Structures are given as structure tokens and as C-alpha cells.
Amino acid sequence: MPRTESLEDCIARMLPYWQMRIETALMAGRKPLVVAHGNSIRGIVKHLDDIPDDEIPGLEIPTGVPLVYDFDEALRPTGSRYLNRS
């Protein structure tokens, strides 16, 4: 059994949760806080921003800096921003 998890594995594990819990909360008008480790958050950003596989290795996501997404009524991202980034 592998002792690591690839980004592909992480996305396969994370995406159903995103769709069942986070999207449901967003559709209900709530503002969920998602806290995740590097590969999980990378998978979420890849999914939301439709980042191609060949570009994802170069994506830098700072540790401990909140990343806020805005969505339209269909839950398509309309923008994102880091909070308090120096």
C-alpha cells in the first residue's frame, strides 16, 4: 500500500465531499470555512479554477493565508483573493 497520496487521488477523495457538503452549504446561503492541507487545497483550487494538469505543479498556494472565493448563483467562481497577504 502506498504511503503517499497523489494529487489525482486527493481530488478523487475530496471532490465528492466538496459536492455533497460545501456546494450544498453555499447553495443554502452559508459561507463555509474550508481548512485543508497543501494537496487538498491544491485540488480544490484546480477544480474551481479549471487548472490544467500541466500547470498545477507551478501553482503556489501560501500556507496560512486565507483564500476567499466568490461564486455566482450556479456556483461558478467569479473571483478569488487572498486575505491579509503581505
Query: pLDDT by residue (tens digit) across 20-52?
Result: 999 999 999 999 999 998 889 999 999 999 999
Domain range spanning residue 58?
Answer: 7-82
Q: Indicate the number of domains in the chain.
A: 1
86: pLDDT strictly greater than 60: no
- The partner residues of 69 in beta bridges, in order of sequence, read 80
Q: Identify whether 1 is part of a domain.
A: no
Is 58 annotated as a binding-site member?
no
Q: Which three cell numbers stand for residue 17?
A: 465531499
What's the maximum distance between 2 C-alpha atoms anywhere in the chain? 42
Q: Identify whether 2 is part of a domain.
A: no
Is 84 annotated as a binding-site member?
no
Write down the pTM of the prediction: 0.84
Cell 467562481 appears where? Answer: 77
Q: Identify whether 35 is part of a domain.
A: yes
Q: Are the beta carbons of 44 and 34 closer than 8 angstroms? A: yes
Tell me how long the chain is. 86
